[in-house]
Structure 1
Amino acid sequence: MAVTLPVAEPPELKKYSGPQRAAALLLVLGKEHGAPIWESLSVEEVKELSSAMSQLGRLPSAVVEYLLVQFSAEVSSMASLHGSHETTERLLAGIMPPDKVREIMEDIRGPSGRTMWDKLSNVGESVLAGYLKNEYPQTVAVILSKLKPDHAARVLAELPRDFGVDVVTRMLRMDTVQKDVLQEVESTLKTEFMSNLSRTQRRDPHESMADMFNAMDRATEEAMLNALEERAPESAERIRALMFTFEDLTALLPEAIAAVVKNADKKTMALALKGAPEEARRVFFGGMTERAAGMLRDDMANMGPVRARDCEEAQSQLVRLAKTLAAKGEIVLVDPKSDDAVII
């Protein structure tokens, strides 16, 4: 059954912050209905909501009713859940021993990338060369042939000179690598190299900073990032990317997706979706009319081959657009580090 939102929010609502609204909602839900939500929260989230709840005082009935109706409407319209490292780890912690959870999470976190070769491209050349110098030259030749040329060149420069020349000679004579050989090399890299690397490698400080910035209010976040851009623009851009990604856009509510589609440059949208997985495309096409979706598909087909770098930049532009719309209060961003709070 469809839920009808009040025409206007009650004036009293403005004096309640986001955490206070969430706390009010949980207070209304009570022990029986609120327990599943409390159980899914982290210790810090429980502390924050408990503190907010203790300071609520008397809640006007109009505020309570509005929060309940808004929550019901938004949850019923959500098309999907959003998974992240944090929510996965929290789930695993409830069903297996801590050491096993730690082992699994260390393995899947590793250097980012969709395939083994993507992951290797994110490993520093000195670290990778330190591992490869102990392998057979033929195996190293196979691995370097799968890396991006610029990264392979840097790795070669780190290898012992004679060993590196041997590897290059084998690469020149190498025919198409058989599928079973490639699979065996990938398997060895995963079990012997990537797994050990994820256990010993220090977490990227940009990830830690992204977590910190996610916890800030938007005004403070923007002020800090703008200041950081003046001193270290690359670091600022890296943090922005980690805070909210193109993949995170697909977890937005349908109304938010429609707003992004409406405000986006059509060429940028076509380029972004050209390099997107089919699932992400379906989400964005769902925010358009059938006619508009058909025209966009035609634009994508007529583009021909495009550089992956250009697609990624277009996707970044859509992310920046979504954050701009959120800052204006036109849409609500689903926090990529959490799957629980939707009331802001």
Structure 2
Amino acid sequence: MPDNDASKLSRVERAAILLMSLGEKDAAEILKHMGPKEVQKVGTAMATLSNINQSQVEGVVSEFLEAVSGQTGMGLGSDEYIRNMLTQALGADKAGALIDRILLGGNTSGLDSLKWMEPRQVADLIRHEHPQIQAIVVSYLDPDQSAEILSNFDDKVRLDIIMRVASLEAVQPAALKELNDILERQFSGKGGSQTTSMGGVKVAANIVNLVDSTMAAELLERITEIDEDLGTQIQDLMFVFDNLADVDDRGIQALMREVSSDLLVLALKGADPLVQEKIFKNMSKRAAELLRDDLENKGPVKVSEVEGAQKEILTIARRLADAGEIVLGGGGEAML
């Protein structure tokens, strides 16, 4: 990592530095309140941090404390720190899986534990299962993870799965328990989920919304060919980045508080001018000027990077919407 001040660090990197400066026990207590993807992001940042200087540590910790001293050598021998901290926070089974995922790559146990696995691993795990089992698994997981899982299947299988997800409303407890038991035996773990309601058109729309744009367009086209009404329902429920222009000012302001400046600049590189103006309008004059300058000075970027940044912001927006903090409009004629 280059030798610069804390303001140049990403939010995830700053979170990683803060946790590493707290000590294993305190950091473990914080991690207990984070979700799988959040823990993975912070853990991965810890594993890759190097050459962190004193001023960077002080800059990060000063956001929470009045003074910091004696914090040096960050990023040196961090593997053992990460192992100990995650084990305290999550227990040996989950920590072992996440440690492998961050540092090596490995297994875990039970239906819930699929959330801790790489999408490709989940895809390989269910590849030879009945399509209805595949649909249940995809419905059970978060949309962004499910979208990545679908990308590992061919067009025909992907279409079959998403059609089944859209028509899925409930799963009998016995069937869900049997699926969980199968996974438990494969992982030699334990656990169990009592969730019986899952799937549906909204879940299908959320997943399609987060797959690759070309893939999503193809899926929608083929779904519409098979069932025009279903295709319309899915498209109506999708919320794409350009739809942020329809979110009220209060919602945009709440969203911006959760989005890093680097991520915002990247996402806005390929955004509709209406979305850009919506963002600028809800920032201070100084902040808007800085953002405009950053956009102008930003060199060429890959379309995939812009789409990735936009999807990350959409994921944050949906989380805030689920929590009732913002209201998202419906409809999405354009894809990311």
- When normalised by structure 1's length, the TM-score is 0.30
Larger RCO of the pair (alpha carbons < 8 Å, separation 6+): 1
Please say which structure displays the higher CA radius of gyration: 1
- When normalised by structure 2's length, the TM-score is 0.31
Q: Which has the higher helix share?
A: 1
